[in-house]
Amino acid sequence: MIYEFEGRTEKEAIDRAAAELGLEKDAFDVEIVETQRGGLFKKGFVKIKIHTGADGESVTVTERAETGKPEQRRKEGRKQKIVFGDPSAQNEFEENLLQFIEILVEKMGYKCKAGVQFREDRKIGIKMDSDSSSILIGKKGKNLDALQLLANIYAGRLGREDIRVILDSENYRLRREESLVRMAYTVADRVRETRNSILLEPMNPFDRRLIHTTLNDISDIETKSEGEGTYKQVRILFRGGKMKA
């Protein structure tokens, strides 16, 4: 189901969504779908989508800003509790999860050693050490995303729908994030020079949100997601002049 909420700020919209749906704010992930700057005669708005679980159920929240310049995007979450010395399981849930991931990879014909990378209240990071990391990651991280989805489904079957599992290998997530940020700025410069919009490659919700957030504070650049399904595309547009599609 899709629910729409409005607020003068992102925080107000999210607070309203959490209150009306009876959810804790750290129980869902927020995906920015579209950002648009306000002008002298036009109100800005930010459209975000809230993902509430591994099953893909989501609600849509629309935030409309009363002023031309939206508030600075809030910092995400709490600091991760990084496990340096002991990545082994600390309870039955973690033990079953690590075992599931190792068996899953073995069924694929490969081997890996799974360990806990970090722990948060509603999130756990799992690192896979394997000689076949490039295969487990796959092109643009699609294999890693698929494995992560299965890990989250399994966590739900263990009765832990409240925990989101983040799967990584060879620090791919961090390297991908740095690469996307550089690419976003490069494409934004090209859009500004040519006044042409540019449609990026299909991306998962996390990657799309990173693009939106990276370019959110650039006054003459807008971003919006296009397409259906999980892997949508981000279009980067120029504001303030003639734009060609």
pLDDT digits (tens, 9 = 90+) for 5-43: 666 666 666 776 677 666 665 556 666 666 555 554 445
In this prediction, residue 189 carries a pLDDT of 94
In this prediction, residue 183 carries a pLDDT of 94
The answer on 192 and 72 residing in a single domain is yes
Which residue type sits at 242?
K
As given in the structure block, the two tokens for residue 9 are 């700020």
The answer on 108 and 54 residing in a single domain is no
In this prediction, residue 73 carries a pLDDT of 36
Contact 166, 172 (CB under 8 A): no
- Residue ranges of the chain whose pLDDT lies below 70: 1-13, 16-17, 20-86, 240-245
Domain count, the chain: 2
Asked whether the CA dihedral 36, 37, 43, 46 is positive or negative, the reply is positive
Asked whether the CA dihedral 190, 192, 193, 197 is positive or negative, the reply is positive
Final residue belonging to a domain, choices 170, 198, 227: 170
Final residue belonging to a domain, choices 147, 170, 193: 170
In this prediction, residue 216 carries a pLDDT of 86
Final residue belonging to a domain, choices 117, 144, 170: 170
Q: What is the CATH number of the domain that holds 35?
A: 3.30.1370.50
The answer on 103 and 66 residing in a single domain is no
The answer on 94 and 161 residing in a single domain is yes
In this prediction, residue 57 carries a pLDDT of 45
The answer on 137 and 115 residing in a single domain is yes
Instruction: Give domain status of residue 53, yes or no.
Output: yes
Q: What percent of the chain has pLDDT over 70?
A: 64
**Cα separation, 148 vs 166, whole angstroms:** 6
Q: What range defines the domain where residue 229 resides?
A: 10-78+176-238
Q: Is the pTM of this model over 0.85?
A: no
